[in-house]
Amino acid sequence: MKHLILSSFSLLLAAPLAAQGSLADDFEGGVNGANWTFGVFPADVIEPTGGNPNSWLHNSQIDMFTVILHNDTATGPWVGDYRATGVSRIHFDAQTLGSTFGSGGRNISVLLRDTKGTVAVDDDDYAYSIGLPTPIEGAGWFHYNFEVPSQSTAAVPPGWKGGWVGDGDDFRPGIDWNDVITSVDVVEIWWQDPALFSIFQTWDAGVDNMTIEWNSPVTVALTPGTAGTPNTLSIDNASANSMVLFAGSTQSGVTPFQCNGISSALSMASPRGLGSAQADGRGDASVSFVIPPSFSGSTLYFQGLDTDECRLSDLLTVTIL
Domain boundary among 174, 200, 215: 215
Q: What is the pLDDT of residues 161-203, one digit of tens each?
A: 999 999 999 999 999 999 999 999 999 999 999 999 889 999 9
Identify whether residues 163 and 252 lie together within a single domain.
Answer: no
Query: Would residue 91 be called left, alpha or beta, if left means φ above 0 and alpha means ψ between -120 and 50 degrees?
Result: beta
Q: What is the pLDDT of residues 237-266, one digit of tens each?
A: 333 355 566 666 666 544 445 565 555 555
- CA angle 75–81–83, rounded 5-degree value: 140
pLDDT band at 297 (very low <50, low <70, confident <90, very high): confident
Residue ranges making up the domain that contains 87: 32-215
Rounded Cα distance, 169 and 195, in Å: 6
CATH number of the CATH domain containing 274: 2.60.40
DSSP 247-275: EES-S-S--S--BTTB--SS-SS-GGG--
Domain boundary among 168, 184, 215: 215
pLDDT band at 102 (very low <50, low <70, confident <90, very high): confident
Q: What is the pLDDT of residues 16-72, one digit of tens each?
A: 323 467 899 999 999 999 999 999 888 899 999 999 999 999 999 999 999 999 998
- Indicate the number of domains in the chain: 2
> Within 10 A of 174 (CB to CB), how many other CB atoms are there?
7
Nearest to 267 by CA among 231, 227, 302, 316: 302
